[in-house]
């Protein structure tokens, strides 16, 4: 009995210690993110889009759009991308062996014809069946290939691209008119060292979309996307910003990221053996340059926005979150030599170390702690007073962090409606009752799927962009 008591007490101690350290790190991230944003917003406001459009400083970009069964949204998205404000760009849509009419709707709507284009296989991918272009849209190239997954489609896009930079954008996402100009800014400041820049992802559900553009920003009215809105704000405006400032950013969202083509080719492009291709390529870049002692930079730009559809049902959200967890674990396992290794700088010690401790070990310990609560009460390891005090502390701290992220949101998005802020505030309180716990459960499920070797993405539901999405 005394051995069991000691084990329970030890595990409880682990849970408390982990939560305490995590809380301190969150606070630190908050301060770092605030400093970065304060510094950044003055500099960002100096980059006049008109100057960037007309002065010739903006480097040409190939926008890569991998598409698999996207017949609902693909035409509107391609049209929206072709209308972006940017001096020199091409849009390469890669139809990754869709089983629906993705290619057919593109051919019909955009008047595509089969064309030839000479290209070189710098990175591996499945066979290309055909290339399509249109005299009406000289910036557009559509690639039809055998299905090989998102990484494979992006690799095909890299091979077909002819510009020094490529921007990976999800087919169900929308970019703001000036997003490319904003995300390009770090490349103008550091054209040699910059290898990748990430933009911010915002939830489009609830916004009004006209002609492939978000014309009125509003919060989702459904609870699940609303909860994800506050989650995205916290993830991008606290964690991503802080990691970027500390040179430890390990993820550039697959929905919107700008990369130097030559750097991506050097690391072999996107990997096929992971479902978290966005994290994997960033980790590979860190590893490549650190191992060769070459100076490089990666940045996150908070005011460059990409709008994405957040899952509206628990089933789809669960598939997304378990996939994210699996992808992260695959990358961590593949690059385990980097974890806590000072040779890899902040990316290894801080970034990889954090993911290992708080995204792999953390959920397991937290879950164990939850399971042990009844036993701990029974054995007298914890008392009701202690339990309530701790619950109050973690709850108020969680809400405090979410509220602080709204402060950061206000620094970036100057036109948020006060009503929306109040709604976000409310959801930052509500997410503590069930949503966070569910997320933790899905993380554990992701860990289990990784350990049992589950592969694949699982089906994602696409909603046609209507006049108003999610209303």
425 near other proteins (CB under 8 A): yes
b/e sequence 298-318, b meaning 16+ C-beta within 10 Å:
bbbbbbbbbbbbbbbeeebbb
- Residues 90-119 binding other proteins (CB under 8 A) are 115-119
38 near other proteins (CB under 8 A): no
Contact call for residues 239 and 359 (beta carbons, < 8 A): no
Contact call for residues 206 and 110 (beta carbons, < 8 A): no
190 near other proteins (CB under 8 A): yes
Q: Is 385 exposed, middle or buried (0-12, 13-18, 19+ CB in 10 A)?
A: exposed
422 near other proteins (CB under 8 A): yes
Three-class SS state of 171: coil
Q: Which is nearer to other proteins, 55 or 461 (CB)?
A: 55
Contacts of 385 (CB under 8 A, 6+ apart): none
403 near other proteins (CB under 8 A): yes
> From the CB of 301, what's the least distance to other proteins, in Å?
16
| Binding residue (CB under 8 A) for other proteins from 88, 108, 189, 216 | 189
| Binding residue (CB under 8 A) for other proteins from 191, 223, 315, 458 | 191
265 near other proteins (CB under 8 A): no
Give Cα 69 distance to the centre of its chain.
21
b/e sequence 242-274, b meaning 16+ C-beta within 10 Å:
bbbbbbbbbbbbbbbbbbbbebbbbbebbbbeb
Of 230, 204, 229, the closest CA to residue 217 belongs to: 204
Q: Which is nearer to other proteins, 390 or 457 (CB)?
A: 390
Choose the stretch contacting other proteins; rule: CB under 8 A; options: 207-215, 270-278, 350-358, 408-416.
408-416
Choose the stretch contacting other proteins; rule: CB under 8 A; options: 13-21, 41-49, 100-108, 349-357.
41-49
16: left (phi over 0), alpha (psi -120 to 50) or beta: alpha
Of 105, 164, 259, 301, the closest CA to residue 93 belongs to: 105
> From the CB of 345, what's the least distance to other proteins, in Å?
9
404 near other proteins (CB under 8 A): yes
* Site size for other proteins (CB under 8 A): 54
| Binding residue (CB under 8 A) for other proteins from 126, 147, 341, 416 | 416
> From the CB of 320, what's the least distance to other proteins, in Å?
29
Give Cα 263 distance to the centre of its chain.
20
> From the CB of 183, what's the least distance to other proteins, in Å?
15
> From the CB of 209, what's the least distance to other proteins, in Å?
22
400 near other proteins (CB under 8 A): yes
Pairing of strands 173-175, 194-203: unpaired
Contacts of 378 (CB under 8 A, 6+ apart): none
User: Which residues contribute to the site for other proteins (CB under 8 A)?
Assistant: 42-43, 45-46, 48, 50-51, 54-57, 59, 115-120, 122, 187-193, 292-295, 385-386, 389-390, 392-393, 395-397, 399-400, 403-404, 406-407, 410, 414-418, 421-422, 425
């Amino acid at each position: 009995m005394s051995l069991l008591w000691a084990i329970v007490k030890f595990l409880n101690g682990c849970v408390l210690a982990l939560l305490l350290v995590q809380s301190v790190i969150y606070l630190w991230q908050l301060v770092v993110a605030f400093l970065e944003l304060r510094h950044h917003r003055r500099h960002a406001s100096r980059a006049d889009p008109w100057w960037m459009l007309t002065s010739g400083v903006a480097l040409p970009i190939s926008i890569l759009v991998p598409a698999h069964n996207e017949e609902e949204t693909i035409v509107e998205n391609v049209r929206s991308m072709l209308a972006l404000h940017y001096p020199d760009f091409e849009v390469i849509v890669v139809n990754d062996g869709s089983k629906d009419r993705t290619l057919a709707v593109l051919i019909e709507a955009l008047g595509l014809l089969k064309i030839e284009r000479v290209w070189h296989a710098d990175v591996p991918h499945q066979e290309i069946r055909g290339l399509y272009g249109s005299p009406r849209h000289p910036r557009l190239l559509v690639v039809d290939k055998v299905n090989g997954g998102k990484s494979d489609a992006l690799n095909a896009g890299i091979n077909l691209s002819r510009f020094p930079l490529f921007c990976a954008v999800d087919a169900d996402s929308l970019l703001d008119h000036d997003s490319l100009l904003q995300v390009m800014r770090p490349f103008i400041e550091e054209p040699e060292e910059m290898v990748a820049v990430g933009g911010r992802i915002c939830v489009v559900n609830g916004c009004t979309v006209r002609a492939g553009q978000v014309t009125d920003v509003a919060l989702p009215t459904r609870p699940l996307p609303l909860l994800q809105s506050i989650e995205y704000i916290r993830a991008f405006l606290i964690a991503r910003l802080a990691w970027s400032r500390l040179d430890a950013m390990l993820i550039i969202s697959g929905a919107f990221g700008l990369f130097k083509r030559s750097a991506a080719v050097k690391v072999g492009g996107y990997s096929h053996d992971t479902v978290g291709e966005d994290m994997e390529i960033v980790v590979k870049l860190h590893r490549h340059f650190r191992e060769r002692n070459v100076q490089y930079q990666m940045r996150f730009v908070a005011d460059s926005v990409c709008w994405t559809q957040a899952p509206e049902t628990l089933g789809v959200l669960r598939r997304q979150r378990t996939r994210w967890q699996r992808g992260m674990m695959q990358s961590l396992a593949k690059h385990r030599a980097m974890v806590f290794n000072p040779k890899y700088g902040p990316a290894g010690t801080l970034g990889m170390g954090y993911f290992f401790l708080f995204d792999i070990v953390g959920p397991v310990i937290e879950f164990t702690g939850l399971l042990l609560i009844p036993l701990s009460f029974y054995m007298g390891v914890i008392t009701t007073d202690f339990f309530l005090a701790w619950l109050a502390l973690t709850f108020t701290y969680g809400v405090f962090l979410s509220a602080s992220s709204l402060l950061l949101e206000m620094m970036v998005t100057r036109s948020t409606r006060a009503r929306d802020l109040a709604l976000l505030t409310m959801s930052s309180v509500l997410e503590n009752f069930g949503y966070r716990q569910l997320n933790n459960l899905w993380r554990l499920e992701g860990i289990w799927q990784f350990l049992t070797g589950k592969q694949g993405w699982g089906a994602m539901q696409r909603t046609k962009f209507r006049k108003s999405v999610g209303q």
